[in-house]
Structure 1
Amino acid sequence: MRALVLTAIIIIFAFVVKVDLTEGSLQFAAINPKNTENALCEKQREPNYITVQTIQGDTIHSLFALHPAKVPMTFPERLQLFYELNPHLQLQALVPGENIKLPLSFEFENTCGK
């Protein structure tokens, strides 16, 4: 009987830890209330970019070479911005005729009303 109770306690404890790690702690949610207006404004910020239409044989490398960035940035940095602007392309190849956004700089355009 003792082993059964101990097993039940361990399972309940493991479940509580799993829920806490995946969904977060409720008591910490009220400590740092976010300003919803600023949070919404942050989501509307986008890096400077141009929109291009792909053709057969285009790759991300070739598009970056044809349209260089305005400021020096490494390929991984520009690739990260590219996937932030085009999240649908993360696990997909470029399709000819598709309009995609190419990042040109780290500077962000604020699309919020001031």
Structure 2
Amino acid sequence: MRAFLLTLIIVLVAFVVKIDLTEGTLPLAAFYPKETEELCEEQLEPSYINIQVIQGDSIHSLFAMKPAKVPMTFPERLQLFYQLNPHLQLQELVPGENIKLPLSFGLENLCGK
């Protein structure tokens, strides 16, 4: 009987650890009260400029032409680029297309607009 209980406890602990590692945290009761969910959620968008792509442009050349306002790594800026231009994730830049080029992490609150 002890072996069965010990095995059950080990399996339960392993299951909890697996869920914690794969999902981030254990699903618990609501952390925030419902009142905060009903408030206006802030819509944040990074600062950017609109540019038109010309023949021979690449993401690297665009980032070099228009440097960021604040220091950020290439992967961080690339992540912002794809957030602003999700249609370009599996596509190359097309000459004549207007795209949004991120300049900083400076986020603007669009809630009241």
Q: TM-score normalised to the size of structure 1?
A: 0.66
The percentage of aligned residue pairs carrying the same residue is: 70
Matches within 5 A, 1:65-104: 65-104=64-103
Instruction: Spell out structure 1 runs of 4+ moving beyond 4 A.
Output: none
Structure 2 unaligned runs (5+)?
A: 1-26
Superposed CA RMSD in Å reads 2.2
Structure 1 unaligned runs (5+)?
A: 1-27
Question: What's 2:37 paired with?
Answer: 35
List per-residue Cα deviations over 1:32-72 (Å, max 9, x = no partner): 55614443x2xx31100000000011000000000000000
More helix by share: 1
Whole-Å Cα distance in 2 between the matches of residues 62 and 102 of structure 1? 12
Kept in 1: contact 2:40–2:111 (CA 8 A): no
Kept in 1: contact 2:45–2:107 (CA 8 A): yes
Aligned residues: 85
Question: What's 1:57 paired with?
Answer: 56
Q: TM-score normalised to the size of structure 2?
A: 0.67
Shift of 1:30: 6.9
Whole-Å Cα distance in 2 between the matches of residues 100 and 36 of structure 1? 34
